[in-house]
Amino acid sequence: MKLYEYSAKNIFKHEGIPIPESDLAKSAEDVKDIVKKMDKPVAIKSQILVGGRGKAGGIKFADSPDEAIEVSDELLGSIIRGETVGSLLVEEKLEIEKEFYVSIAVDRSNKKPLIMASAEGGVDIEELAKIKPDKIIKSHINPLDEFLPFHAREIARKMGVDGVLIPGIGSIIWKLFNVFKRYDANLAEINPLVLTKDGLIAADAKLEIDDDSLFRHKNLMNFEEYEKEEFAYVKLEGNVAVIGNGAGLTLTGMDMIKLYGGEPATFLDIGGGASSKNIEKAINLVLKYQKVEVIFLNVLGGITRADDVASGVINALNNAPRKVPMVIRLTGTNEKEGQKLLSDAGISFETSMEAAAKKAVNLCNQT
């Protein structure tokens, strides 16, 4: 479960991590009222659940209420990196002297939390990791041991920051680890953590909660934007949406797309026994992702019935918000009934995964 920036920042604030003065807006008038109340230049930040919004134009600045309305009209309802902007975080524009990076993530290969920190934070942290990996300090934490403030200060010292900043940065690292542990997070990140004349402030916030722990955090599920995920769904950078029934089959479908020269846009596992309604929801979900140019539906029916899949496909295509070519591989339980439903509806299908994947890539190359 990914939290929006404003929700993550509220949690950070509760745990003692400084954040900018801010408020959430869902309309241009809300933005204008907030800017009037703050009476200072502001940053207006699109609330979406994918990274890279700054480079994609999702963060803008305004010096006056009228300018803020103009900016918010431009952002609200826009599509940034495949997501529609429905709300904006309006916060004071910070006078930044220095940027740092701090994150804590689950390192599954080592079965430990991994703290990563750098004295060079900001939007290009991924590039920094590639060209100057030595600039990022990495420290695994034994989950059976207590992580104490002096451990955090040692990480800050290794970052190479000025001595006067070590206690402050160490304190924030320690508090961020407390957030990570208390909320059963897969990721807790501040990028950038900025130094201003008023001290250190979390200028951005990311928090991803392990779905399997949500029964312990029912308050988080009350956020109005949160919808329980029905599928294992990951957005990628390609243009072919891959949907399958089972993680292994979906991954194999993705490999096939790569083999024939394409790039997957999604991993979406509908699981076993998916109903026609689930199929329809899955197709509608990937259609919302603007990078998707072709859908590759890869179904080998066991518990999942091919006729249910066909019904879901037909309903989805009849009511689709936008028209995108779909390539269907459909075999297994009730395959003759399912294939007949598709044929009667004028929808083509394949029984070979290889043929379907190749067809999907060819369709992308024609668009």
270 lies in the same domain as 341: yes
Q: Express as a percent the part of the chain with pLDDT over 70.
A: 97
Q: 113 in a domain, yes or no?
A: yes
CATH number of the domain within which 31 lies = 3.30.1490.20
For 319-340, what is each residue's pLDDT tens digit?
Answer: 887 889 999 999 988 889 999 9
Q: pLDDT at position 227, please?
A: 46
The burial of 250, by beta-carbon neighbours within 10 Å (0-12 exposed, 13-18 middle, 19 or more buried), is given as buried
178 lies in the same domain as 276: no
What distance, in Å, lies between the first and last C-alpha atoms of the chain?
Answer: 34
Q: What single-letter amino acid sits at 322?
A: R
Q: 16 in a domain, yes or no?
A: no
CATH number of the domain within which 327 lies = 3.40.50.261
Q: 10 in a domain, yes or no?
A: no
Determine the Cα–Cα distance for residues 74 and 238; give it in Å rounded to an integer: 26
273 lies in the same domain as 342: yes
Would you say 246 and 272 are in contact if contact means Cβ atoms under 8 Å apart?
A: yes
203 lies in the same domain as 237: no
> Where a domain ends, among 52, 73, 92?
92
- Residue 226 in this model has a pLDDT that exceeds 80: no
194 lies in the same domain as 292: no
Would you say 353 and 330 are in contact if contact means Cβ atoms under 8 Å apart?
A: no
Q: pLDDT at position 230, please?
A: 61
Q: pLDDT at position 60, please?
A: 95
Q: 8 in a domain, yes or no?
A: no
189 lies in the same domain as 109: yes
CATH number of the domain within which 116 lies = 3.30.470.20
Residue 263's nearest CA partner among 288, 242, 239, 283 is 239
219 vs 297 pLDDT, higher one: 297
Q: What single-letter amino acid sits at 350?
A: E
112 lies in the same domain as 214: yes
- Residue 197 in this model has a pLDDT that exceeds 80: yes
Predicted structure pTM score = 0.66
> Where a domain ends, among 180, 200, 222?
222
244 lies in the same domain as 323: yes
What does pLDDT average to over the chain?
90
64 phi and psi angles, rounded to 5 deg: -145, 160
Q: 3-class DSSP state for residue 163?
A: helix
Q: pLDDT at position 51, please?
A: 82
Total domain count, the chain: 3
- Concatenating the DSSP letter of every residue in 22-74 gives EEEESSHHHHHHHHHHHTS-EEEEE--SSS-TTTTT-EEEESSHHHHHHHHHH
Section 199-211 average pLDDT: 93
Q: pLDDT at position 223, please?
A: 53
Q: pLDDT at position 221, please?
A: 59
- Domain range for residue 349? 232-366
Structure tokens given for 366: 């024609």
Q: 327 in a domain, yes or no?
A: yes
182 lies in the same domain as 263: no
Distances (CA, A) of 347 to 153, 183, 280, 327: 62, 46, 15, 9
- Residue 166 in this model has a pLDDT that exceeds 60: yes
Section 180-203 average pLDDT: 95
Active-site residue numbers?
A: 101, 189
- Contact partners, residue 42, CB within 8 Å, separation at least 6: 34, 35, 61, 62, 68, 90, 91, 92, 93
- Residue 123 in this model has a pLDDT that exceeds 70: no
Q: 4 in a domain, yes or no?
A: no
For 72-90, what is each residue's pLDDT tens digit?
Answer: 999 999 988 878 899 999 9
- Residue 135 in this model has a pLDDT that exceeds 50: yes
Q: 11 in a domain, yes or no?
A: no
> Where a domain ends, among 42, 58, 92?
92
Structure tokens given for 125: 């942290």
Rg (CA), the chain: 23
71 lies in the same domain as 129: no
Q: 5 in a domain, yes or no?
A: no
Q: 3-class DSSP state for residue 169?
A: helix
Q: pLDDT at position 52, please?
A: 83
Sign of the torsion formed by the C-alpha atoms of 242, 246, 247 and 253 = negative
Confidence of residue 222 (pLDDT cuts 50, 70, 90): low
Would you say 30 and 79 are in contact if contact means Cβ atoms under 8 Å apart?
A: no
Three-state SS for 274-325 is: CCHHHHHHHHHHHHCCCCCCEEEEEEEECCCCHHHHHHHHHHHHHCCCCCCC
246 lies in the same domain as 343: yes
